[in-house]
């Protein structure tokens, strides 16, 4: 990880962090850090809820070609 602890939290806010770390940790034979993993999963859930909310508000303006 990074040498600066504050930047580790910023990096963990990325939704892709959890996916990348799930593949990286078995290769490096390390344990998954639950704090950073939880931050990443929380950001995924927050972005999902924001996306669903935005979609519901703008769905009626989409063109329906079917």
pLDDT at 2: 65
The 10s digit of each residue's pLDDT in 33-47 is 888 889 989 999 999
CA distance 43 to 18: 10
Scanning the structure block, which residue is given the tokens 């995924």? 44
- pTM of the predicted model as reported, rounded to 2 decimal places: 0.73
Task: Please count the other Cβ atoms lying within 10 Å of the Cβ belonging to residue 5.
Answer: 8
pLDDT above 90 covers a percentage of the chain that reads 26
CB count in 10 Å sphere of residue 17: 19
Q: How far apart are CA 39 and CA 60, in angstroms?
A: 33
User: Average pLDDT in the 19-27 region?
Assistant: 87
Average pLDDT taken over every residue of the chain: 87
State both tokens at 42: 């929380």
């Amino acid at each position: 990880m990074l040498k600066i602890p504050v930047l580790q939290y910023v990096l963990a806010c990325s939704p892709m962090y959890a996916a990348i770390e799930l593949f990286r940790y078995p290769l490096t034979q390390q344990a998954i850090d639950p704090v950073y993993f939880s931050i990443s999963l929380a950001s995924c859930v927050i972005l999902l809820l924001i996306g669903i909310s935005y979609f519901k508000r703008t769905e009626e303006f989409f063109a329906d070609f079917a």
